[in-house]
Amino acid sequence: MPHPRADLKLDSVHMALWCEGGKPKTLARFPNFEPLRQRLYHQRMAQFPSGQTLLIDADDTLWENNVYFERAIAAFISLLNHQEYSPARVRTTLNGVERETILAQGYGLSSFRQSLLNCFERLSPNGLSDEKRIQIEGFANSILTQEIELLPTVASTLADLATRHHLILMTKGNEAEQADKLSRSGLASHFSAVEIVAEKDPPTYRDVMARHELAPHTSWMIGNSIKSDINPALAAGLHAVFLFHKDTWVLEHAELDAAPEGQKLLELASFAELATIF
């Protein structure tokens, strides 16, 4: 014979027992039952207690980003229409040019625009005409006008995490561009601080930890880039959560370092899963 409450979800049963010593019919007394149920659910299921500090990356962690650059690069390769180099070889050349430009100018759209122009001049036998320059600048500038496209569940998951933890946005790039994207995303209110840095390396993470007085054992870096979000954060003493994104920029690819003793490294497939462990 089935249990009389077998039609209830397990967590509802637990909630009912917790409320009234096994009298689920009295749940109607709680007008805010759903938030209370969710809070209790997290207390039971979350692996880490409330009060953690979560440093969260932005591009390709909260919203789509690299896919727009890939489209611009595809248009660039098509315009160049190189007669000897394959598209893959043009791309490899562009990656090298981008590394040089970033060293000189940092990250951001103007750096990307300059890389496309430099790469065209380097590879085109006919040089760079005014007409081609305008077209190439148009490919890069089209990224600026892209609507912010949040990744699945980001808005609801961030809102949920912000009720239990201390959230800091940690992104690298051009300050005005990154601040503009955050503003347009509608997510800014969930963060107690925003860090827009020139490079995400161990000294930068240590500096952020010192300025915000972060305790390493309750502080995490979360992001899609092994090179920028995970390995340097682990080196600086933070825990880390790697969120895989299929369109991560090729210049961010790297081998995942092992977590040093006493530090945690988690790998999750979706942003939503953060709410199940934090």
Contact residues for Mg ion, defined by CB under 5 A = 57, 59-61, 224-225
* Minimal distance, residue 250 CB to Mg ion, in Å: 13
Question: How remote is the C-alpha of 119 from its chain's centroid?
Answer: 29
Q: Are 130 and 77 in contact (CB under 8 A)?
A: no
The burial of 165, by beta-carbon neighbours within 10 Å (0-12 exposed, 13-18 middle, 19 or more buried), is given as: buried
* Minimal distance, residue 118 CB to Mg ion, in Å: 24
Tell which residue, 137, 74, 87, has the closest CA to residue 109: 137
Query: What is residue 218's DSSP assignment?
Result: G
Residue type at 135 in one-letter notation: Q
Q: How many CB atoms lie within 10 A of CB 122?
A: 12
* Minimal distance, residue 60 CB to Mg ion, in Å: 4
User: Residue 61 or 219: which CB sits closer to Mg ion?
Assistant: 61
User: Residue 59 or 195: which CB sits closer to Mg ion?
Assistant: 59
Q: Are 173 and 107 in contact (CB under 8 A)?
A: yes
Tell which residue, 76, 60, 199, has the closest CA to residue 128: 76
User: Residue 59 or 160: which CB sits closer to Mg ion?
Assistant: 59
Place of tokens 């201390």: 166
Helix (H) or strand (E) holding 276: helix 274-277
* Minimal distance, residue 37 CB to Mg ion, in Å: 34
User: Residue 53 or 228: which CB sits closer to Mg ion?
Assistant: 228
* Minimal distance, residue 229 CB to Mg ion, in Å: 6
User: Residue 37 or 181: which CB sits closer to Mg ion?
Assistant: 181
Measured CA to CA, the distance from residue 69 to residue 141 in angstroms comes to 10
Four-residue CA torsion sign, 66, 72, 78, 83: negative
**Helix (H, G, I), strand (E, B), or coil: what is residue 151?**
coil
User: Residue 215 or 254: which CB sits closer to Mg ion?
Assistant: 254
User: Residue 19 or 201: which CB sits closer to Mg ion?
Assistant: 201
* Minimal distance, residue 135 CB to Mg ion, in Å: 28
Question: What tokens does 152 get?
Answer: 């699945």
* Minimal distance, residue 12 CB to Mg ion, in Å: 38
Query: What is residue 259's DSSP assignment?
Result: P
